[in-house]
Amino acid sequence: MSAQDSAASALAKSTASADAVADIGEQTRLAARRRERLMSIGSPLGLLLAWELAAQTGFIDVRFFPAPSTIIVALWRMLMSGELIEHILISLQRISLGFLLGGIPAILIGIAMGISRPVHALIDPLITATFPIPKSAILPFILLIFGLGELSKVVMVAIGVFFPIAINTTAGVLQIPPIYRDVGRSFNASHWDTFRTIALPGALPFIMTGIKLGAGLALILIAVAEMVGAKSGIGYMIWSAWETFAVARMYVGLFVIALIGFGVSFLLREIERWVIPWKTDN
């Protein structure tokens, strides 16, 4: 097969797969996939149903495990009163601001460390020394410095996302094959052009991994920070529900925070597909 042919076949792949749908083997495979999808929707539904039944029949203690129907009613009430939306929005705002505050310097510093050996020698020990400190353990310190206002929550998230993004960005720059830098030098690329056309795009898959790790940490930290030092947000909502023994509200909080986590990872997958088009065929 000539080079031209194989590239042409890459082009033709998308049309070929459309034709193959008519294929018998393909159809049974599609049916199997549909069955699998039904099963993966069915298992959580089944669990909810069993839970509901167990609660209704008094098999489990509804003070600790209120029936799903009770939780849904609580969720509906909180939604209607506007209270839930308010908590969600304030938490999302803290997470977003924290992401910007921590993520942008993390990418810049990470790339600088990957490009320049002196910068690496200067900053790497600081990161290595501070990275192992559990971020939740510095919450009192952050509250002391930044007070009980918005800033302390934003800073918590920022610190949390900074480390995985900075570390992954540096690793991402360092794994760029040296030939690409030779190409840049050979075509007289300026420092700015090297950053823009080689270091940043070359490290982008690693940066995205760092951002995904950071997102997980951000959710943990925002919940913890709001439980201790806030009067609003999902974390605060869960904590105050525990304090007033409003167990259904607590479950609503857990459900919502899980939903946020799901939404964030979906969003990041879409962003990844958009900013790294050379990694995926579409």
By beta-carbon proximity to other proteins, the closer residue of 65 and 180 is: 180
Q: Is 172 in the site for other proteins (CB under 8 A)?
A: no
Q: Does 281 engage in binding with other proteins (CB under 8 A)?
A: yes
- Tell me the one-letter amino acid at 85: I
Question: Considering only residues 110, 202, 229, 253, which one is a binding residue for other proteins as defined by CB under 8 A?
Answer: 202
H or E stretch covering 188: none
Q: How far is the C-alpha of 269 from the C-alpha of 265, rounded, in Å?
A: 6
- Judged by CB, which is closer to other proteins: 1, or 126? 1
The number of CA neighbours under 13 Å toward the Cβ of 22 is 4
Give the amino acid at 282: N
* Residue 23 Ramachandran class (φ > 0 left, ψ -120 to 50 alpha, else beta): beta
Closest to other proteins by CB, 146 or 180: 180
User: Does 114 participate in binding other proteins (rule CB under 8 A)?
Assistant: no
Between the alpha carbon of residue 3 and those of residues 13, 16, 78, the distances in Å are 16, 19, 62
- Burial group, residue 223, by CB count within 10 angstroms (0-12, 13-18, 19+): buried
Q: Does 208 bind other proteins (CB under 8 A)?
A: no
CA–CA separation, 66 and 274 (whole Å): 42
282 is a site residue for other proteins (CB under 8 A): no
| Largest separation between any pair of C-alpha atoms in the chain | 76
Tokens of 231: 């009067």
The residue among 132 and 178 lying less far from other proteins, judged by its C-beta, is: 178
Smaller CB distance to other proteins: residue 3 or 22? 3
57 binds other proteins (CB under 8 A): no
Q: Which of 4, 15, 40, 57 binds other proteins (CB under 8 A)?
A: 4
Q: Does 186 bind other proteins (CB under 8 A)?
A: yes
Minimum gap (Å) between residue 5 Cβ and other proteins:
8
Among 26, 36, 61, 182, binds other proteins (CB under 8 A): 182
Of residues 37 and 185, the one with the C-beta less far from other proteins: 185
Q: Which of residues 197, 209, 240, 265 is near other proteins by CB under 8 A?
A: 197
Class of residue 16 by CB neighbours under 10 A (exposed 0-12, middle 13-18, buried 19+): exposed
Identified binder of other proteins from the candidate list 10, 32, 39, 148, rule CB under 8 A: 10
Is 209 among the residues that bind other proteins (CB under 8 A)?
A: no
Question: Is residue 274 at the binding interface for other proteins, with CB under 8 A as the rule?
Answer: no
Q: Which of 216, 222, 206 minimizes the C-alpha distance to 167?
A: 206
Q: How far is the CB of 1 from other proteins (least distance, A)?
A: 8
Q: What sign does the dihedral 236-97-142-131 (CA atoms) show? A: positive
Residue closer to other proteins (CB basis): 172 or 235: 172
Q: Which of 84, 127, 161, 204 binds other proteins (CB under 8 A)?
A: 204
| Interaction between residue 144 and other proteins (CB under 8 A) | no
Produce one character per residue of 244-256: b if its CB has 16 or more CB atoms within 10 Å, e if not.
eebbbbbbbbeeb
Alpha-carbon separation of residue 254 from 59, 179, 183, 208 (angstroms): 23, 49, 51, 26
Residues that bind other proteins (CB under 8 A): 2-4, 6-7, 10-11, 179-180, 182-190, 193, 197-198, 201-202, 204, 276-278, 281
